Chains A and B, each alone.
Chain A
Amino acid sequence: DTAVSQTPKYLVTQMGNDKSIKCEQNLGHDTMYWYKQDSKKFLKIMFSYNNKELIINETVPNRFSPKSPDKAHLNLHINSLELGDSAVYFCASSSRGNSNQPQHFGDGTRLSIL
């Protein structure tokens, strides 16, 4: 059973389009995250949601809008895609009450902007 699942795995689209990436976790965690991994493999937090509420929003353009319909889902919508948005986006989840427990990651969504 997949613990953290993201769809799609690959996303190829043109500049200026709007796209969404979905994430679901079946671990019963109350906190979910989006990370961006650039071409040099550098990973950086974008957003963190706890119980459907935003708790971390790093310096991310407002073209990126996360949406959490419930604790098990955190979707990422991106408007007006730009070339610099090309990256691998990882969803993760954890239990907020215990920072010693690791975050569980999805397999990533590779976004390529043409």
Chain B
Amino acid sequence: GNSVTQMEGPVTLSEEAFLTINCTYTATGYPSLFWYVQYPGEGLQLLLKATKADDKGSNKGFEATYRKETTSFHLEKGSVQVSDSAVYFCALVINNAGNMLTFGGGTRLMVKP
């Protein structure tokens, strides 16, 4: 089956630190990969996506590269802000297979001033 594994949190960083949240996946087909973010008390928002190998998704200073050889989609940001504190979810969809999202367990990021 399909699965997504993320590093467990919480991840606690100081403002302007470098962020990496690891994400690896297993998939029965060719997936599209996503990062969603959930701010406190809110729903999920798409952060970035990549639909084929070697694609790089980027948004709001966050980046993730679709690595087929390592089945990974690690999230990075060069300088985090307090406002980045949230729960981050890695997810995949198998193309042409119902559009069902399979989520990782989520990683809580806490950024301190």
Residues of chain A having any CB pair with chain B under 8 Å? 4, 31, 33, 35, 40-45, 48, 55-56, 90, 92, 94, 96, 99-100, 102-108
Contact = CB atoms under 8 A, between A and B. Distances in A.
B70 interface: no
Contact of B45 (A35, A43, A94, A105): A105
Nearest to A96: B99
Contacts of A102: 34, 46, 49
Contacts of A105: 36, 43-45
A35 B100 CA distance: 10
B75 to A, nearest CB: 15
Interface of B: 32, 34, 36, 38, 42-46, 49, 51, 87, 89, 93-103, 105-106, 108
A44 B43 contact: no
A107 B42 contact: yes
A112 to B, nearest CB: 15
Contacts of A41: 38, 87, 105-106, 108
Contact of A100 (B38, B95, B102): B95
B103 A100 contact: no
Given A40-B105, A43-B103, A44-B103, A99 B44 contact: no
Contacts of B43: 4, 90, 105-108
| For the complex of A and B, 10 pairs with smallest distance between CB atoms | A107-B43, A102-B46, A43-B103, A105-B44, A41-B106, A105-B43, A100-B51, A99-B95, A99-B99, A99-B93
Contacts of B108: 41
6 contacts: A90-B43, A92-B101, A99-B99, A105-B44, A108-B42, A108-B43
A106 B89 CA distance: 16
A73 B93 CA distance: 23
B105 A42 contact: yes
